[in-house]
Structures are given as C-alpha cells and as structure tokens.
C-alpha cells in the first residue's frame, strides 16, 4: 500500500469486531517497528502483544478506563513501554519516548495496510497493565494499542461524539498553524 494511502486510511476507530490474530500478524507488526530509526540505533521500544486469554481478558476487565469500554471488543492489545536509560539523553533531550513513538507510528501504518484497526489509547491504569503483564516498575507504559477489525455496525451505547468520529475524522489544525517556512512565527 502506498504510504499516503495508509496515512489517509488510518483512523482511530472504536467500533470493532473480532478478527483472528495469527503469529504471522504479530511478526509483521514487530518487523515494522524493528525498521524504524532511533538515536544511536538504541531501539528503546518494548512491546507485549497480548492476544490470548487470560491476559487479554484481564486487561479488558481490569485495566481499561470506563471511557474505553469500546476496546473490550478488541482482538489484541499491544502494551508499549520504555525507559529513559534505554535511549540517548543529550542535555534536556530525552529520546526514549520520541523513538518509541516512531516505532508505534510504523505499527499503526502497517496494521492499516493489513486492514486492521490499530488505535492508541492513554485511558488505562498503567499499574494494572504492569501487574498483569509482569512489566517491571521502572518502565513507563506509554500507550496501549487496541487492535481489531472495523465494525460497520455502531454499538447502541456510543454517544454522539463517538458516533460521529466513526464516519468523520476529527478536525485537524490547519497546516499554517503548525508548518512554518524558513522561520518560526508564533
């Protein structure tokens, strides 16, 4: 798939239906992250691909915030975590989150190409995620990627905002608000 097509197609859909997640899909998504750049090639990203019970069910029941109830229909949850000493620190520039974010971007686009929804969320309990997945405390669980297949049928409990977001991409800043040429203008 052309990169631009994947960029346009990717959406953080919430209406999901079940899809079989093979080991091959896990490998494809892992390889997408593997190819991304990082400071001094430090590769600070770590992922747990949770696709089987009991841990998938435990994450859904114990770790998600109420507002992310929709994520209970997911077929896999990828926990993304990192820590500062896995990457470059150059004065005030700490690259571990930045590099991990780039790896996540690759996973989002590759999942889109594989016709999967990959939706990052911040609404969860990191303490619960660490407990369930046995991630040591010194790591930061920066996001969960909610993986599933887009469901054309929208659940009854979705409010107007969630309903609208299924068909219309939430508005973006205009280019002139964040793209500057030759010099920054605030």
Ligand X SMILES: Cc1cc2nc3c(=O)[nH]c(=O)nc-3n(C[C@H](O)[C@H](O)[C@H](O)COP(=O)(O)O)c2cc1C
Least distance from ligand X to the Cβ atom of residue 97, Å: 11
The angle that helices 96-113 and 23-34 make with each other, rounded to 10 degrees, is 130
DSSP per-residue codes, 112-159: HHTT-EEEEE--B-HHHHHHHHT--TTSEEEEEEEEEEE-SSPPTT--
Q: Residues touching ligand X: how many (CB under 6 A)?
A: 11
Q: Which of 56, 118, 121, 132 binds ligand X (CB under 6 A)?
A: 121
- Residue 68 near ligand X by CB under 6 A: yes
Regarding 123 and contact with ligand X (CB under 6 A), the answer is yes
Nearest to 28 by CA among 147, 180, 119: 147
> Toward ligand X, which CB reaches closer, 53 or 171?
171
> Minimum Å distance from CB 129 to ligand X?
13
Single residue of 143, 145, 147, 148 touching ligand X by CB under 6 A? 143
| 3-class SS of residue 143 | strand
> Rounded to whole angstroms, how far apart are CA atoms 179 and 177?
6
Residue list 6-45, contact with ligand X (CB under 6 A): 11-12, 14
Is 110 a binding residue for ligand X by CB under 6 A? The answer is: no
Q: Kindly list the residues in this chain that would bind ligand X in the complex (CB under 6 A).
A: 11-12, 14, 68, 120-123, 143, 169-170
């Amino acid at each position: 798939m052309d990169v631009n097509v994947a960029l346009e197609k990717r959406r953080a859909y919430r209406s999901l239906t079940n899809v079989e997640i093979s080991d091959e899909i896990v490998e494809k998504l892992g390889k997408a992250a593997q190819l991304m750049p990082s400071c001094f090639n430090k590769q600070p990203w770590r992922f747990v691909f949770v696709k089987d019970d009991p841990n998938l069910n435990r994450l859904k029941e114990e770790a998600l915030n109420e507002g992310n109830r929709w994520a209970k229909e997911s077929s896999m949850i990828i926990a993304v975590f990192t820590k500062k000493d896995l990457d470059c620190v150059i004065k005030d520039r700490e690259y571990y989150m930045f590099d991990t974010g780039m790896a996540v971007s690759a996973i989002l686009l590759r999942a889109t190409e594989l016709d999967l929804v990959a939706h990052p969320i911040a609404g969860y309990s990191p303490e619960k995620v660490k407990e369930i997945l046995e991630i040591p405390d010194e790591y930061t669980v920066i996001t969960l990627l909610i993986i599933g297949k887009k469901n054309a049928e929208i659940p009854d409990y979705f409010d107007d905002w969630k309903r609208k977001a299924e068909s219309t991409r939430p508005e973006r800043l205009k280019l002139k608000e964040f793209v500057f040429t030759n010099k920054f203008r605030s």
